[in-house]
C-alpha cells in the first residue's frame, strides 16, 4: 500500500469516527402509532382542508401519526386502560414538522385570510392568535412527544363530549373552562387523569394537548415529512 493510499484510508476512518447521526434527519427515533396501538383511530385534519388554515398543511403527505418511541410507549398504556372500559383514543395530531409550523405562522400573518373564522375562531380577531398562544413559531409537537387526542367508544367510534371541538381557538377550550357542563368537565378530567397517570403533562389552554414529561428531545425541532 502506498503512503498516499494509507493517508486516504486514515482520513476516511477519522471522518467516519467524527460523524454522528442527527436525529432531526431520521425516523428511527419515532413510532407510527397504529403499529403499536392497532385499534387506535385517526382524524389527521392537517392532511385535509378541514383545519383552521383551510388547506392541507405543508409536511403532511399522509394521514399518519408519529411520536417518539418513549411517548408512544407511554400512550400505549393510556390506551390499555381505556380498552378495559370499552373505550379508546382518537389522534388528531402528534409529531408536527417545522415546515407545518412555518405554514401556520404565514397564515397567522395574513390578515385577509379569514376563511375559517366562523368555525375555528369566531370570538377572537385573527391578529390575536399569536398573543393567545394558538399559533407560535415553535411548537412542542415538533419535538415529537406531544399529542392532540380525545376518547372514543370502541364499538361506535363516537367521541366523548368534551364541550368544544379540537383546535377551537377560544376560552371554552381551556381545560377547566366554566363554559361547559359537568358531564363535559368529567370527560375532560377522565382524559387528563389517564394522561397524567402515564407521565404526560397537560397544556391548560387546550383540553386535547399533552406532552410527555421527560421528553427525549426537549431542544430538537424535527422537520421530516409525514408520509
- Of the pLDDT bands very low, low, confident and very high (cuts 50, 70, 90), residue 139 is very high
- Candidates 158, 206, 215, 227; catalytic one: 206
pLDDT digits (tens, 9 = 90+) for 145-189: 999 999 999 999 999 999 999 999 999 999 999 999 999 999 999
Specify the pTM: 0.88
Average pLDDT in the 36-40 region?
A: 93
> Burial level of 191, CB count in 10 A (0-12/13-18/19+)?
buried
The domain ranges of the chain are 30-212
- Mean pLDDT of all residues belonging to the chain: 90
Q: What is the pLDDT of residue 12?
A: 35
CA atoms within 13 A on the CB side of 152: 17
Q: What is the pLDDT of residue 20?
A: 35
Architecture of domain 30-212: 2-Layer Sandwich (3.30)
Q: What is the pLDDT of residue 10?
A: 36
- Of the pLDDT bands very low, low, confident and very high (cuts 50, 70, 90), residue 225 is very high
Q: What is the DSSP string of the chain?
A: --HHHHHHHHHHHHHHHH----GGG-STTEEEHHHH-TT-EE--GGGSS-SSSSSPPTTB-SS--EEEHHHHHHHHHHHHHHHTTTEEEEEEE-S--HHHHHHHHHHHT-TT--TTHHHH-TTS-GGGTTTTTSS-SS-GGGGT-EEEEEEEETTT-PBP--SS-TT--SGGGSTT-TTS-HHHHHHHHHHHHHHHHTTEEEETTEEEEEEETT-S-TT----PPB-
Greater model confidence, 18 or 30: 30
Q: What is the pLDDT of residue 27?
A: 85
Q: What is the DSSP string of 152-182?
A: EETTT-PBP--SS-TT--SGGGSTT-TTS-H
Q: What is the pLDDT of residue 87?
A: 98
Q: What is the pLDDT of residue 126?
A: 94
pLDDT digits (tens, 9 = 90+) for 69-78: 999 999 999 9
C-alpha cell of residue 163: 364541550
pLDDT digits (tens, 9 = 90+) for 22-37: 444 568 899 999 999 9
Q: What is the pLDDT of residue 25?
A: 52
Greater model confidence, 22 or 195: 195
**Residue 206: active-site member:** yes
- Name the nearest CA neighbour of 163 among 142, 179, 145: 179
Amino acid at each position: 500500500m502506498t503512503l498516499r493510499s494509507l493517508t486516504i484510508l486514515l482520513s476516511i476512518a477519522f471522518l467516519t469516527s467524527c460523524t454522528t447521526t442527527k436525529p432531526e434527519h431520521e425516523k428511527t427515533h419515532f413510532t407510527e402509532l397504529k403499529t403499536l396501538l392497532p385499534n387506535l383511530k385517526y382524524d389527521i385534519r392537517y392532511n385535509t382542508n378541514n383545519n383552521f388554515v383551510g388547506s392541507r398543511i405543508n409536511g403532511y403527505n399522509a394521514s399518519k401519526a408519529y411520536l417518539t418511541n418513549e411517548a408512544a410507549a407511554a400512550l400505549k398504556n393510556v390506551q390499555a386502560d381505556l380498552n378495559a372500559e370499552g373505550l379508546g383514543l382518537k389522534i388528531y395530531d402528534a409529531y408536527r414538522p417545522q415546515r407545518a409550523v412555518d405554514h401556520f405562522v404565514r397564515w397567522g400573518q395574513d390578515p385577509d385570510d379569514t376563511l375559517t373564522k366562523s368555525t375555528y375562531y369566531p370570538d377572537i380577531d385573527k391578529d390575536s392568535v399569536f398573543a393567545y398562544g394558538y399559533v407560535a413559531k415553535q411548537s412542542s409537537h415538533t419535538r415529537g412527544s406531544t399529542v392532540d387526542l380525545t376518547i372514543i367508544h370502541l364499538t361506535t367510534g363516537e367521541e366523548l363530549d368534551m364541550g368544544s371541538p379540537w383546535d377551537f381557538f377560544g376560552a371554552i377550550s381551556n381545560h377547566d373552562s366554566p363554559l361547559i357542563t359537568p358531564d363535559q368537565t368529567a370527560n375532560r378530567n377522565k382524559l387528563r387523569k389517564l394522561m397524567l397517570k402515564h407521565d404526560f403533562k397537560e397544556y391548560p389552554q387546550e383540553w386535547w394537548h399533552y406532552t410527555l414529561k421527560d421528553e427525549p428531545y426537549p431542544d430538537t425541532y424535527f422537520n421530516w415529512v409525514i408520509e
